[in-house]
Amino acid sequence: MSEATRITVRGESPYDVVVGTGVHGELPGLLRPGVATVAVIHPQGLPELARPVTAALSEAGLDVVALPVPDGEACKTADVAAGLWSAFGRHGMTRSDAVVGVGGGATTDLAGFVAATWLRGVQVVLVPTTLLAMVDAAVGGKNGIDTPEGKNLVGTFLPPAGVLCELSVLDGMPRADYVAGLAEIIKGGFIADPVILDLIEADPQAATRPGGPHTRELIERKIRVKADVVGADLREAGLREILNYGHTLAHAIERAEHYRMRHGEAVAIGMTYAAELSRLDGRADLVERTRAILTSVGLPTAYHADAWPRLRDHMRLDKKNRGARQRFVVLDDLAVPARLEGPPEELLERAYEVIARS
């Protein structure tokens, strides 16, 4: 058992992110006192992920209700959420009880959403089991479900009572899924912590496997980046928007792909696009470094040349927009994010032409 690292997310409702190997025993301690029943939401295709979680909770004397949901993005629907609310009612869950979400980012998004909306809010602890969920989705208190019109358009802000990152579960991740999670770590390097980029550039192949020499440091550095941002701006009133670097195009691509493309792959393409936007607008020129580091770990940097009209339509429905005014996160310099508001259509199309040609 390794020593657990505790990273505190500050703000109006502070909580800890616990990182380490053999840390499932820390889970009951993340719950606030007075809990009797805990609903454990987990992907139905991966019951083994929930077993150590339910065991730790049961050993602490809690009444545990396991609630499987569809795997991946398919769980983030109003119908699935309604089914969970019904299950909470059948099991008599009160405002002093809790939800624990175990799984990837889709599952933790859903768990946070149903916890925030059941009885106007019960506590939730998240146990992310993918790299992407550990470094991004499970940290920050943003919860949501999808609609046919777009991703995460219905959601809430509810900081979790705690987050538990058991690193040993990463050993069983498919390589492609693990590599996709690196995109969010790399994003953290570009917007806030360039040491992340240095570590990956020093040995890209080592970065693509869970047991690499810098795996834990990369994970903890990215969690700290997000913890610092969301601790200062939970509700995305300003600073938190920088975490959407690369995501405006990424979400459009995901929708065009009917969510069959991995989120991290879409974000990698989106970051390349955002870097090109920054360059064309006379800001930082980090296009080649962006493309080189993403390519070195096996992430994509281009998309279909003929997809622009459809993607442009999807981008108009983005959470950062204000009315008809499009907003993008760009870089004035390395680790100096900024906003590009109302860019001309010609600039947006020229940036896309570059990544479509790549």
Residue numbers belonging to the annotated binding site: 71-76, 105-109, 129-130, 142, 151, 184, 247, 263
Could you tell me which residues are annotated as the binding site for NAD(+)?
Answer: 71-76, 105-109, 129-130, 142, 151
Task: Give the sign of the dihedral formed by CA 192, CA 195, CA 199, CA 202.
Answer: positive
Q: Any catalytic annotation for residue 312?
A: no
Q: Which of 263, 314, 319, 327 is catalytic?
A: 263
C-alpha to C-alpha distance for 292 and 58, rounded to whole angstroms: 48
Q: Any catalytic annotation for residue 187?
A: no
Q: Any catalytic annotation for residue 120?
A: yes
Q: Which of 42, 142, 279, 291 is catalytic?
A: 142
Which residues, 6 or more positions from 270, have their beta carbon under 8 angstroms from its beta carbon?
Answer: 246, 247, 248, 249, 250, 251, 253
Q: Which of 24, 42, 184, 291 is catalytic?
A: 184
Q: Which of 42, 244, 276, 327 is catalytic?
A: 244
Which residues, 6 or more positions from 35, have their beta carbon under 8 angstroms from its beta carbon?
Answer: 62, 96, 97, 98, 123
Q: Any catalytic annotation for residue 24?
A: no
Which residues, 6 or more positions from 29, have their beta carbon under 8 angstroms from its beta carbon?
Answer: none
Alpha helices in 175-306 (DSSP H): 175-191, 194-202, 204-207, 215-232, 247-256, 263-280, 287-296
Which residues, 6 or more positions from 113, have their beta carbon under 8 angstroms from its beta carbon?
Answer: 81, 143, 144, 145, 154, 155, 156
Q: Any catalytic annotation for residue 149?
A: no
Q: Which of 24, 222, 247, 255 is catalytic?
A: 247
Could you tell me which residues are annotated as the binding site for Zn(2+)?
Answer: 184, 247, 263
Q: Any catalytic annotation for residue 142?
A: yes
Q: Any catalytic annotation for residue 184?
A: yes
Q: Any catalytic annotation for residue 304?
A: no
Q: Any catalytic annotation for residue 258?
A: no
Q: Which of 251, 279, 314, 327 is catalytic?
A: 251
Query: And the tokens for 64?
Result: 């545990």
CB contact at 8 A, 63 and 38: yes
CB contact at 8 A, 154 and 147: yes
Q: Any catalytic annotation for residue 244?
A: yes
C-alpha to C-alpha distance for 132 and 183, rounded to whole angstroms: 8
Q: Which of 12, 90, 120, 346 is catalytic?
A: 120
Which residues are identified as catalytic?
120, 142, 184, 226, 236, 240, 244, 247, 251, 263
